[in-house]
Structure 1
Amino acid sequence: MRDPLSKTITTIKPSGIRKFFDIVSEMKDAISLGVGEPDFDTPWHIREEGIKSLEKGKTFYTSNAGLKELKVELAQYLKRRFDLTYDPSKEMFITVGGSEAIDAAMRAMLDPGDEVLIPQPSYVSYVPCAVLAHAVPVTIELKAEDEFRLTAEALEAAITDKTKLLVMPFPNNPTGAIMEQKDLEAIAEVVQKHDIFVLSDEIYSELTYTENHVSIASLPGMWERTIVINGFSKSYAMTGWRLGYACGPEAIITQMLKIHQFCIMCAPTTSQYAAVEAVKNGDADVVAMREEYNQRRRYLMHRFRQMGLECFEPFGAFYMFPCIKEFGMTSDEFATDLLNRKKVAVVPGTAFGDCGEGFIRISYAYSMEALKEALGRIEEYITELRANK
Structure 2
Amino acid sequence: MKELSKRTKTFTDSAIRRMTRIANQYDAINLSQGFPDFDPPKEILNRLEQVAHEDFNQYAITWGAQNFRDALAKKQSKYMNLDLDSNKNIVVTCGSTEAMMSVCDPNDKAIVFSPFYENYGADTTLCGANPIYVPLHPPVFNFDKEELENAFKQNPKALILCNPSNPCGKVLSKEELEYIASLAIKYDTYVITDEVYEHIVYAPYKHTYFASLPGMFERTISCSSLSKTYSITGWRLGYCIAPENIIEQLKKVHDFLTVGAAAPLQEAAVVGLEFSDAYYDELQKLYTHKKDLFINGLKELNIPHTEPQGAYYVMVDISEFGYDSDLDFCVDLIKNVGVAAVPGSSFFKEEENRYIRFHFAKKDETLLAALDRLKDMRTKMSYKKTVG
Query: TM class, shorter-chain normalised?
Result: over 0.9
Amino acid at match of 2:23: V
Q: Distance in 2 between matches of 1:287 and 1:39?
A: 20
User: What does residue 366 of structure 1 align with?
Assistant: 362
Q: Distance in 1 between matches of 2:142 and 2:241?
A: 24
1:331 deviates by 1.7
User: What does residue 333 of structure 1 align with?
Assistant: 328
User: What does residue 198 of structure 2 align with?
Assistant: 205
Amino acid at match of 1:341: N
RMSD: 1.9
Q: Distance in 2 between matches of 1:150 and 1:6?
A: 35
Q: Distance in 2 between matches of 1:185 and 1:335?
A: 38
1:341 deviates by 1.3
Residues 14-41 of structure 1 deviation map (CA, whole Å, 9 limit, x = unaligned): 111122111111214x211111012221
User: What does residue 161 of structure 2 align with?
Assistant: 168
Which range is displaced more, 246-255 or 353-362? 353-362
Matched ranges for 1:268-307 at <5 A: 268-281=262-275, 283-307=277-301
8 Å CA contact retained: 1:236, 1:286? no
User: What does residue 236 of structure 1 align with?
Assistant: 230
CA shift in 2, pair 1:282/1:52, >3 Å: farther
8 Å CA contact retained: 2:26, 2:334? no
Q: Distance in 1 between matches of 2:145 and 2:251?
A: 32
Matched ranges for 1:1-389 at <5 A: 1-3=1-3, 5-28=4-27, 30-99=28-97, 103=98, 105-145=99-139, 147-210=140-203, 211-281=205-275, 283-329=277-323, 330-355=325-350, 356-382=352-378, 389=387
Q: Distance in 1 between matches of 2:125 and 2:234?
A: 26
Q: Distance in 1 between matches of 2:257 and 2:19?
A: 30
Amino acid at match of 1:11: T
Q: Distance in 2 between matches of 1:212 and 1:279?
A: 21
1:314 deviates by 0.6
8 Å CA contact retained: 1:91, 1:247? yes
1:388 deviates by 6.3
Q: Distance in 2 between matches of 1:340 and 1:380?
A: 13
Amino acid at match of 2:13: P
1:282 deviates by 6.0
Q: Distance in 2 between matches of 1:249 and 1:40?
A: 36
Which range is displaced more, 259-268 or 216-225? 259-268
Query: Unpaired segments of 5 or more residues in structure 2?
Result: none
Amino acid at match of 1:69: N
Q: Distance in 2 between matches of 1:373 and 1:75?
A: 41
1:162 deviates by 3.4
1:181 deviates by 1.0
Instruction: For residue 277 of structure 1, give the secondary structure of its aligned residue in structure 2.
Output: helix
CA shift in 2, pair 1:159/1:342, >3 Å: same
CA shift in 2, pair 1:79/1:212, >3 Å: farther
1:148 deviates by 1.4
1:224 deviates by 0.5
Amino acid at match of 1:195: D
Q: Distance in 2 between matches of 1:188 and 1:124?
A: 24
Q: Distance in 1 between matches of 2:142 and 2:73?
A: 28
Residues 121-142 of structure 1 deviation map (CA, whole Å, 9 limit, x = unaligned): 1111101011000000121111
Amino acid at match of 1:221: G
8 Å CA contact retained: 1:151, 1:183? no
1:120 deviates by 1.4
8 Å CA contact retained: 1:349, 1:357? yes
Q: Which has the higher helix share?
A: 1
Residues 218-260 of structure 1 deviation map (CA, whole Å, 9 limit, x = unaligned): 0011111100001100000111211010010111111111011
8 Å CA contact retained: 1:335, 1:346? yes
Q: Distance in 1 between matches of 2:334 and 2:256?
A: 42
8 Å CA contact retained: 2:26, 2:335? no
CA shift in 2, pair 1:304/1:154, >3 Å: farther
Q: Distance in 1 between matches of 2:143 and 2:75?
A: 27
Work out the number of aligned pairs and report it: 382
8 Å CA contact retained: 2:200, 2:311? yes
